[in-house]
Structure formats: structure tokens, C-alpha cells
Amino acid sequence: MARISIFGIGYVGTVAAACLARDGHTVIAADVDQSKVDSINAGKTPIVENGLEELIETGVASGRLTATTDARKAVLETDASFVCVGTPSAPDGSVGLDYVLSVCTAIGSALSLKDTFHSVIVRSTIVPGSMEKSCIPALEASSGMTAGEEFGVGYFPEFLRESTAIEDYYDPGLIVFGALDQKTDDILTEINGQLNCEISSVNLRTAEMIKYTSNCWRAVKITFANEIGNIAKAVGLDGQEVMRVLCSDMKVNMSPYFMRPGFAFGGSCLPKDLRALRFLARSNNVPSPMLDVALSANEAQIRRAEHLVDNLVGRSIGMVGISFKAGTDDLRESPLAALADRLIKKGYDLKIYDPFVQEAYDEAMSGAGRGNDYVENLEQRLVSSIDALIEQSDILLVGNKYSEVVEPLSKAASTLPMVDLARLNNKVTSNGNYEGICW
């Protein structure tokens, strides 16, 4: 079992302290507020949260949970410190790090007095880069020690909901943390090991970003649900029933398939149905800002790909995929076709490899080229071999991913500039000649 000090007897800190003590760890809760410290030591909770009073009372009675205002004592008597103080917004909207940095400075000062390894783990919500740019420098400056070598560093975001925090702690949907060193990684793995949830150990910045992504995604979901509810009510329907049934679909609507960053959406359904629902909203005098921005954001993603190509040297483009998704010859509102049109109009010599569109033309199918409202002379631009496409190209533009193209395109990326909108290899990120649109 670990010995852990918790800095900040607020919502996150109090719940974490009580649950860690319940799990058998020795916990010292530290705060500058004497009243909060006194409350914990008396076996009482300083905040309202279902079931928390009982956990604190039991933890204090067992001797595993105590509280203090003495930061030095908290560090010297434990093996790891969790920073759980608030990060209120600054006047300009940026994250406020004053409390976090104050605690990091206090912990660092105490670290200089220790002759054993100690891990400092931030749980406060901080934007990506805060650990590296602010927290670690503060710890190193006040301790005179090197992070990751002489003391450990980690970032361990929490995903607790008020009123169900203890339930969320023991039945988490997500556990993620980052650590500079193996000892800190081991501590975080140990305290989470008994929970029935996959543990994701990532780098510090990724862990910071995941926390913000989670919170913003919740905000977006609430806003979307409210917007749908408003439109539903305007046409005499129950918005909650609509969303309840929608959320029962775990194959598509709740699937991670659509949560994979990449290129714009298109096809015969999504663009036209967004437009139709926006029109219905306007017809009933219901604002639909979320739906409105979805289309403009989709357009911005096409422009982003266009700019990536423009930044490369070359005039001959080999484009892989033109249909709106791999596995079909359907070009209706294909964002790849829209992108191709823009590049052609800029004077690029564009050739295309798309085995499904090619098949439709080769077999003289009546639907060949269906939905093509963008690309002139589409059939003449098609190249039947991926190797031939590569040979004719100064720049490679990957729009759809087909199994047969992965190996030759991966080899070509070492010599030709490439913009990848589909992600050929999940282990490769933007570098040198290679540009991934979101990675």
C-alpha cells in the first residue's frame, strides 16, 4: 500500500483522499484552510457528496486518513503527492495556474529535504503543455532537483461527477495518466489496478489533452441534445424520447467509429440531412447554432487539407480515393471530390486511384460516376494501378485507405511529399515529407 499526500481539500481532493484511505492506503490531506483540516480530522466531510461522510469517518477512525496545514510534513511522511487544487479561469479565459504553481513550489521546497524518492502527481485540470512548461519548472526551481530522475512526476486527471463521485471512482469509464518515470507509473498503476477499467498510460501532454477533450465533449453533447430537444418540441415531439432511442444504438450513433479525427464528412445522407434539419429549425423559429457550425466546420476541414497540399512543392498530384468513403463508388457530396475540384482549378495536374469508381467505369455500370458534381473528366483522370499513380506524382494525397495501397504508399512516403487524410499507419505522425491532417 502507498503513502499519499493530497494537496487541496476541495471536491476532487476530499473524494480521492477518502477513497484511497478506504482502499488501504495511508493518506494525509493538506490544505491552507484550517477549517477544512479540522473537519477531516474530526471525521466529517467539508463538502456535500453522497456517501462521503461515512468514508471519511471510517478512514479517520482507522488511522489511515489525517489532515494538516503543514505542507512539509505531508511530503516528508508520504511517498507521493497528489495536487488537487482548483484552476479557475483567468480574465482572458486561459487556465489559472496560480494555485497549482503555489502548491508545486511548496512541495518542491519539501522535496529538497528528503533522501528518498518522491512522486508529484497533478490531478488538477490543466491545458496540454502545462506540466512541461509550468509545473515541472516550478518543482525543479524550488527543489533544486531534476524531474524524472531525482523525483517523479505524473499527470492523472479525474473524471468524477458531483453527486455520484464515489460511484464513479469505483466504477470508472476511463483511467488515464502520464508519468515521466517508471516509479510514478508503478504507483498510479497500483492504486488503479483493482478497478474494472482499462488503464491507459500515455505521455503527459496526451493525458492533459484527454481531460479537456472529455469535458468539452460532455458540453458539446449537452448542447446538441438541447438543440435537438428544442427542434423536436417545436414540431410537437418529445425531445427526450428522441434522444433516448437514439442513444440505444451502440453500433453507429454511440460508436467510436465517428469519433476518429480525420477528413470531412460527406455522402448522400449527412450533409443534406443537416441542411434539412437546420431548415426545419429556422421554419419554426428555433436557433440551431450547433447544427449550423457543423457544416462550416466541415468546410474548414476541406480547406485545411487544401492548405496542406499548397504548402508542398510539386504540381502533379496522385490522389488516392475520390468517393465519399472507401468501399463504394458513390461520389455524392464527397469532400474528396470537392477537394479535387479546388486543386484542379488551381492548376494542379490531378490523377486519381479509386478501385471502386474504376470498377464502375470498367464494367460500364449505369451508375458510374454517380453523384460527381465536381470533377471534370473524372474517367480520364483515373489510374488503375497504385504503382502507376506514384510514378506520375510529385505529391501524394491519401483520401481513402485501401488495403493494397498501404505498403506501396508507405514506401513512397520516404521520397515523395504526402498529405494523409485517412491514416495509412497509426504509428506514424507528421514528420518531414509526411503530413497527417490530424496527427
84-124 residue pLDDT tens: 999 999 888 999 999 999 999 999 999 999 999 999 999 99
pTM passes above 0.85: yes
Predicted confidence (pLDDT) per residue in 159-202, tens digit: 999 999 999 999 999 999 999 999 999 999 999 999 999 999 99
Residue 161 annotated as binding site: yes
Around 144, how many Cα atoms within 13 Å sit in the side-chain half-sphere?
A: 5
Of the two residues 260 and 25, the one the predictor is more confident about is: 25
Find the mean pLDDT for residues 361-382. Answer: 94
Residue 287 annotated as binding site: no
The model's confidence at residue 259, banded by pLDDT at 50, 70 and 90, is: confident
Residue 211 annotated as binding site: yes
Exactly one of 197, 216, 247, 269 is catalytic; name it: 269
Is residue 362's pLDDT more than 90? yes
Residue 266 annotated as binding site: yes
- The gap from C-alpha 5 to its chain's centroid, in whole angstroms, comes to 28
Residue 159 annotated as binding site: yes
Residue 260 annotated as binding site: yes
Residue percentage of the chain with pLDDT more than 70: 100
What is the model's pLDDT at position 167? Answer: 96
Residue 418 annotated as binding site: no
Q: Assess contact for 381 and 352: CB atoms under 8 A.
A: yes
Predicted confidence (pLDDT) per residue in 381-399, tens digit: 999 999 999 999 999 999 9
Catalytic residue at 19? no
Residue 258 annotated as binding site: yes
Is residue 256's pLDDT more than 90? no
Predicted confidence (pLDDT) per residue in 424-437, tens digit: 999 999 998 999 99
| Mean pLDDT, the chain, whole residue set | 96
CA-wise closest residue to 129 among 139, 137, 121: 137
270-279: long-range pairs with CB below 8 Å, 24+: 271/295, 271/298, 271/333, 272/333, 277/231
Is residue 17's pLDDT more than 90? yes
CA-wise closest residue to 339 among 419, 439, 237, 239: 419
